[in-house]
Chain A
């Protein structure tokens, strides 16, 4: 335990990096995922804005990206980060990789939850003179809000998991702390504390997500 105390500044840095990587990853990746997922849903046959080409392109893209294991993606994306002037090693690139992976993952979660919205309600909104665009933001998304929050909460767990993995590409997350000071130096206490901190983050996130969803869904 003394060792953990000695490493307190590393732990603090790791905790902080994990929090902002996960937070920023969830917000940016979530937003992109929401856009792609909504695109997947509305472009479907008999969707709100049916478009076969859009639907095919989005589906192929998502199906191509999603199966790539995150650790490989994090490395494969390094040239792209560099292209945008971000070092391939460190927190900046880690965020790029997390946003990229979570956007495609979340897009399917979003699509699934939108499919569950009663089409009758969308039709009613159209019958009341709403434009397709208005139907999307004022009916479709609000009607799916509760399940979407639960979906994003579910995604948060995966994202926190990613923040640990990006330790490999030099991000200063708890993953790196565990890797550098725990696993490599066979210090199980350090590893265990890092893991506990990650579990704590996930627990708090899950609790907050559940509470928010319950409030929105009123049950």
Chain B
């Protein structure tokens, strides 16, 4: 059974103004998240990502549908029982949301106080957590004395305090610089690998998805428009929204403007070869072209590495006898996905 299971989940907010329209923030979402995975949820602003995770830890009630977390249907629970469920779900935020009235130590202590963990046990737990996130020396610092990355580490320690099964990260790295982002993502990977905690990361940065997610969920206007294994999403994005997101990171197929520029410099036939899995080697394709005496030149493209697997798109210009080129395109097409682009 999945750890988190949404079936036909919708969330509609009443109109914010009198006479306004209700907001359909989440619409009919089916989604399963397995124990131990890292799932990335991407979508543009207003797509409903935050609302979706706020449904998962019951900060908002669903409007319809069923929502199972670890086998319990949250839609049937009362507030008191939901508070217990929330102890099993950690959450970190873009703005860190540390309590300014407490030190680092006090912040990590907060969920333990809520969970009524005995004082002596708290001490040990907090100390362990601060070591885990690498902030043992900052235990008595105040939040405003920390850098963004350190604040997020405190946020992570705090979220892990009650040993949750799930960690929800809402834009957890969006306020951080690239280097600090990498550090925090590394820490999240460690949380997943060493503690076996299932992580849901909301982001609009494909870089984040590429670096930690096993699976990707793409949302648009409250709906899940595409989901799949991270490699598949990057190598074969199907929905236009997904394609736009992937294009922010992977820019290996020439767009119209780039094609026009290429055309001016390259009079031969332009063909894009897509190497989407590792079964076909590029050398086999090039050997085929050489064998047929076709002159070729690489004019555009790139090879991407997604979690240890590679894919790429190479655009080549082919020159030679017209019918020989035709035959070569057909032959190469039998080896690898081939598309004549101009």
B94-125 at interface with A (beta carbon < 8 Å): 95, 97-102, 110-111, 113-115
A132: chain B residues within 8 A (beta carbon): 79
Say whether A218 contacts B97, CB under 8 Å: no
Give Cα A218 to B101, complex, Å.
10
Give Cα A121 to B307, complex, Å.
35
Say whether B99 contacts A139, CB under 8 Å: yes
Say whether B97 contacts A121, CB under 8 Å: yes
Say whether B87 contacts A128, CB under 8 Å: yes
Say whether B83 contacts A218, CB under 8 Å: no
Say whether A120 contacts B99, CB under 8 Å: no
Give Cα A118 to B124, complex, Å.
30
A69 within 8 A of B: no
A103 to nearest B CB, angstroms?
Answer: 25
B86 within 8 A of A: yes
Contacts A124-B93, A128-B114, A130-B114; is A142 near B101 (CB within 8 Å)? yes
A123: chain B residues within 8 A (beta carbon): 59, 93, 97
Within the complex, which residue of A131, A142, A143 is in contact with B83, where a contact is CB–CB below 8 Å?
Answer: A131
Say whether B98 contacts A121, CB under 8 Å: yes
Say whether B100 contacts A128, CB under 8 Å: no
A170-185 at interface with B (beta carbon < 8 Å): none
CB-nearest residue of chain A to B83: A129
Contacts A123-B59, A218-B142; is A129 near B99 (CB within 8 Å)? no
Say whether B97 contacts A129, CB under 8 Å: no
B224 to nearest A CB, angstroms?
Answer: 23
Give Cα A125 to B314, complex, Å.
51
Q: Could you list some 17 contacts between A and B, CB below 8 A?
A: A120-B93, A120-B97, A121-B97, A121-B98, A124-B91, A127-B91, A128-B87, A128-B91, A128-B159, A129-B87, A129-B111, A130-B114, A131-B80, A134-B114, A138-B110, A139-B101, A142-B101
Chain B residues with a Cβ under 8 A of chain A: 57, 59, 79-80, 83-87, 89, 91, 93, 95, 97-102, 110-111, 113-115, 142, 144, 158-159, 162
